[in-house]
Amino acid sequence: MGSYEPVLLKNRGVEGSCTLKVHRAGGGYAGAEKALKLSSDEVIEEVKKANLRGRGGAGFPAGVKWSFLPKDREKTILCVNGDESEPPTFSNRVLMESDPHMLIEGIIIAAYATRSQVAYVYLRVEFHEQFHILQLAIDEAYAAGLLGKDVLGSGFDLDVYVHRGAGAYVCGEETGLIESLEGKRGWPRIKPPFPAVEGAFGLPTVVNNVETLANLPHIMTRGADWFQSIGAGSSTGPKLFCLSGPVNRPGCFEGAMDMTCEELIYGDDYGRGMVDDVGVKAVFPGGISMGVLTGDELGMKMDFDDPRNFGLLGLGTAAAVVVDVETDMRDVLLNVSRFYSHESCGQCTQCREGTSWMYRIASRIAMGAGRIEDLDLLEQVSGRMGMMPGYSICGLPDGAAFPIRGLVQKFRTEYEEHMGRQRDGRAEAVLRVLN
Amino acid sequence: MAWKTIDRNEPVVDAGATPVLTEAIRGKIESFFPRYPTKRAVLLPALHVIQDALGFIGWQAMKEVADLLEIHPSAVFDTISFYTHFWTKPRGEKVVTVCRSISCELLGGREVLEAVKDHLGIGEHETTGDGKYSIAVEECLAGCDHGPCLLVNERMHKCVKAADVPALLADAGNADHGLPRSDLFDGPVVDDDRDDGVIASTSDVVEMQDSN
């Protein structure tokens, strides 16, 4: 894999990489120029042929998503999802701070393909530096005639605005994002109608992730066949992988989707092993919502399909966090369950209540007051929430159920050992105080 | 208890109250109108502008922004109460936002949060007596490769160790991020509303629990 030539991160670390000059020097905006000479349907066909699957988590092909838009529409809205709140994901951040013009170029191509005249970049509020970087790049693009009226002399008009969020995980869900864009609470909407038919402000809307859009310029310049040649099967194209936790070289890496989780952690081009060579106890390979792998399952391929063979929800955001052998899994369970109980938007009962229940159960296990039946209870609660059994509006509770169920199932012996070491009567005493 | 009838045609802003949104703030909010098809959609940008300028969004500000956007104040409060970023009570000059997500926690984020609390002597979503610092916690700051991380206002501090916290908080320049800035969300400087060292008037303070 040493021969992989970075595409998305080619300008990272280059002096002045956020400026138009540097982006142009590396062949920037050639993809947009090429796209604007084609018809919008031809652009969609090319993206479909490349099978560019959404990088935001679900892996839905972007070209297919665009083709759901009604043919007779007059206005379309493009939303760029830069809400990136899934721990431990930061690939959008790295993209925006190292090459904002690549995103803007991708926005131009996507807007042209979907015939959108306005694009809103929904940026999470914690991205302060990235907001200023991106806004300055947008200002620069306007001044250079790349945005606004008559983009690149093609007669196509496009306005790009940054819309800052205000700290809510669920706004990364596409209809939650749309509600938030409209100035409301970020409550996901019941589908159908799907955003492609009735989205923001009642208009046909497309929501695409930042990384998905950053791939578009390269598909336009190098072609769908080049895109298909990276990786294998249905997992093709350049992909950003994030790695964090106690590894020697945490960071965002670009590669093909044919590496294993082990390569990501130990490979010389990637994580270079664990700090002090401690062992790996667990990995959340695709953002915490996708579920967890044990240290024996590192052979999992980081592509769209293999994670399902390991009881995971999918590839997710391909952001791996490594848990070393010295970590107490009760703390991990507590942290993960707290995240979802805090971020559940509260619309659907089983998610609002279920995530809080799981957090409370995890709290007492962490306090050394767990009972063996708590583990069964966690499995039970997590099995009865989410879109998969058909109880919820959005996928947040599925994302809560998978890691918690995975932790309980794959690390059950460890939790049982902890409980075995608890003093007799401790659980009852604590429960009396808690309840 | 008798039900009180609310006349929706009544102006929402009390005639006797002192306005808090200055002309500069209103102008900035209005500059967002052409960007969106509806006025309501300007709410989030407007709240950012207000919070940047005034430090927090109190009742009076909510009513005035409702008036400006032609929506009901309850709709403004409805939106505010959903998002953790907005403060409805005065906050310190600097807000220390500590990340508590899994990557940071594995690398010692919990100890960093404890050190910040110990050093400032306050808890989460509280403000020091001199009005200098407030503490907030956030689920993930997307700085996982540099964990544990925390924000001081807009400046990200990376790879923070619990032992570094006192020095970090004592540094007067800990909120300067030294990058070129776009002026879109930079609030106008307001001196008369916030006296040095004293928390702004608490008359229109909304005590709101941290949304959980």
Beta bridge partners of A243: A251, A320
Indicate if the pLDDT at residue B87 is higher than 70: yes
Tens of pLDDT, residues B122-138? 999 999 999 999 999 99
Which one-letter amino acid corresponds to residue A264?
Answer: L
Among the listed residues A55, A54, A109, A396, the one whose alpha carbon sits nearest the alpha carbon of residue A252: A55
pLDDT at residue B6 in the model: 53
Of A90, A139, A183, nearest to B144 by CB-CB distance is A90
Indicate if the pLDDT at residue B187 is higher than 70: no
Q: Which phi and psi angles does A419 have, rounded to 5°?
A: -65, -35
Chain A residues whose beta carbon lies within 8 Å of the beta carbon of residue B154:
128-129
Mean pLDDT rounded to a whole number for chain B? 83
A35: left (phi over 0), alpha (psi -120 to 50) or beta: alpha
Query: How many Å apart are CA A402 and CA A418, to the nearest integer?
Result: 22
Indicate if the pLDDT at residue B191 is higher than 50: no
Mean pLDDT, residues B184-191: 54
- CB contact residues (below 8 A), chain A span 263-292, against chain B: 284, 288
Eight-class DSSP state of B35:
G
Q: Where are the alpha helices (DSSP H) in A260-371?
A: 261-266, 329-343, 349-366
Q: Domain ranges for chain B, please list them.
A: 23-82, 94-170
Interface predicted TM-score (ipTM) of this complex, two decimals: 0.92
Chain A residues whose beta carbon lies within 8 Å of the beta carbon of residue B48:
125, 164, 166
Contact between B191 and B22 (Cβ < 8 Å): no
Give yes or no for A317 touching B (CB within 8 A): no
Among the listed residues A241, A377, A405, the one whose alpha carbon sits nearest the alpha carbon of residue A311: A405
Query: How many Å apart are CA A351 and CA A19, to the nearest integer?
Result: 44
Superfamily of domain B94-170: Glutaredoxin (3.40.30.10)
Q: What is the pLDDT along chain A (435 residues), one digit of tens a residue?
A: 457 889 999 999 899 999 999 999 999 999 999 999 999 999 999 999 999 999 988 889 999 999 999 999 999 999 999 999 999 999 999 999 999 999 999 999 999 999 999 999 999 999 999 999 999 999 999 999 999 999 999 999 999 999 999 989 999 999 999 999 999 999 999 999 999 999 999 999 999 999 999 999 999 999 999 999 999 889 999 999 999 999 999 999 999 999 999 999 999 999 999 999 999 999 999 999 999 999 999 999 999 999 999 999 999 999 999 999 999 999 999 999 999 999 999 999 999 999 999 999 999 999 888 889 999 999 999 999 988 888 999 999 999 999 999 999 999 999 999 999 988 777 777 777 766
Other Cβ atoms closer than 10 A to A428: 10
Chain B residue with CA closest to A89: the answer is B142
pLDDT at residue B212 in the model: 34
Q: What angle do CA B6, B8, B12 make, to 5 degrees?
A: 95
Give yes or no for B201 touching A (CB within 8 A): no
- CB contact residues (below 8 A), chain A span 133-152, against chain B: 133, 135-136, 139
Chain A residues whose beta carbon lies within 8 Å of the beta carbon of residue B47:
166
Other Cβ atoms closer than 10 A to B114: 13
Mean pLDDT, residues B138-153: 91
Non-local (6+) Cβ contacts of A105 within 8 A are: A23, A28, A29, A31, A32, A216, A217
pLDDT at residue A141 in the model: 94
Task: Tell me if the bond preceding A88 is cis, omega within 30° of 0.
Answer: yes
pLDDT at residue B202 in the model: 31
Other Cβ atoms closer than 10 A to B192: 6
> B205 vs chain A: nearest CA distance in angstroms?
20
Mean pLDDT, residues B32-40: 95
Chain B residues whose beta carbon lies within 8 Å of the beta carbon of residue A327:
106
Of A136, A245, A343, nearest to B103 by CB-CB distance is A245
Give yes or no for B42 touching A (CB within 8 A): yes
pLDDT at residue B211 in the model: 35
Q: Which domains does chain A have, with CATH numbers?
A: 20-229 (3.40.50.11540), 235-324 (3.10.20.600), 329-434 (1.20.1440.230)
pLDDT at residue B8 in the model: 54
Other Cβ atoms closer than 10 A to B122: 18
Contact between A167 and B51 (Cβ < 8 Å): no
Chain B residues whose beta carbon lies within 8 Å of the beta carbon of residue A332:
102
Give yes or no for A328 touching B (CB within 8 A): no
Tokens matching residue A393: 């509006």
pLDDT at residue A119 in the model: 97
Of A128, A244, A336, nearest to B145 by CB-CB distance is A244
Tell which of B102, B113, B183, B210 to mutate to test the A interface (max A CBs under 10 Å).
B102
Chain B residues whose beta carbon lies within 8 Å of the beta carbon of residue A183:
38, 40-44, 69, 79
* CA A59 from centroid of its chain's CA atoms: 10
Mean pLDDT, residues B134-161: 92
Task: Tell me if the bond preceding A307 is cis, omega within 30° of 0.
Answer: no
Question: In A181-314, at which residue ranges do the beta strands (DSSP E only) sit?
Answer: 205-209, 231-232, 235-236, 239-244, 251-255, 280-284, 293-294
pLDDT at residue B4 in the model: 57
Q: Please give the helix or strand (H or E) that residue B111 lies within, else none.
A: helix B109-120
Burial class (CB in 10 A: 0-12, 13-18, 19+), B173: exposed
Non-local (6+) Cβ contacts of B110 within 8 A are: B100
- What are the angstrom distances between the C-alpha of B118 and each of A109, A298, A399, B99, B209? 51, 40, 34, 16, 22
Query: How many Å apart are CA A37 and CA A53, to the nearest integer?
Result: 24
Query: How many Å apart are CA B119 and CA B150, to the nearest integer?
Result: 15
Q: Please give the helix or strand (H or E) that residue A46 lies within, else none.
A: helix A40-50
Query: How many Å apart are CA A20 and CA A152, to the nearest integer?
Result: 14
b/e for B36-72, b at 16 or more Cβ within 10 A?
bebbbbbbbbbbbbbbbbbbbbbbbbbbbbbbbbebe
Give yes or no for A165 touching B (CB within 8 A): yes
- What are the angstrom distances between the C-alpha of A44 and each of A49, A63, B100, B190? 8, 5, 41, 49
Question: In B80-176, at which residue ranges do the beta strands (DSSP E only) sit?
Answer: 94-99, 133-138, 150-152, 155-157
**pLDDT-based confidence at residue B11 (cuts at 50, 70, 90):** low
Q: Where are the alpha helices (DSSP H) in A144-283?
A: 174-181, 210-222, 224-229, 261-266
- CB contact residues (below 8 A), chain A span 37-96, against chain B: 84-90, 92-93
Indicate if the pLDDT at residue B193 is higher than 90: no
Mean pLDDT, residues B4-8: 55
- CB contact residues (below 8 A), chain B span 1-30, against chain A: none
Give yes or no for A112 touching B (CB within 8 A): no
pLDDT at residue B201 in the model: 33
- CB contact residues (below 8 A), chain A span 196-215, against chain B: 201, 203
Contact between A84 and A43 (Cβ < 8 Å): no
CA terminus-to-terminus distance, chain B: 31
Tell me which fold the domain B23-82 belongs to. Arc Repressor Mutant, subunit A (1.10.10)
Chain A residue with CA closest to B148: the answer is A245
Of B103, B146, B185, nearest to A87 by CB-CB distance is B103
Q: What percent of chain B has pLDDT over 70?
A: 81
> B192 vs chain A: nearest CA distance in angstroms?
26
DSSP reduced 3-state for A274:
strand
CB contact under 8 A, B44 and A321: no
Give yes or no for B136 touching A (CB within 8 A): no
pLDDT at residue A19 in the model: 93
Contact between A208 and A62 (Cβ < 8 Å): yes
Query: How many Å apart are CA B25 and CA A39, to the nearest integer?
Result: 43
- Whether B23-82 shares its CATH topology with B94-170 is answered no
Contact between B180 and A100 (Cβ < 8 Å): no
**pLDDT-based confidence at residue B194 (cuts at 50, 70, 90):** very low
Burial class (CB in 10 A: 0-12, 13-18, 19+), B178: exposed
Eight-class DSSP state of A435:
-
pLDDT at residue B206 in the model: 36
pLDDT at residue B3 in the model: 63
Q: Of A47-56, A242-251, B96-105, B170-179, where does mean pLDDT reach its minimum?
A: B170-179
Indicate if the pLDDT at residue B209 is higher than 70: no
> A223 vs chain B: nearest CA distance in angstroms?
32
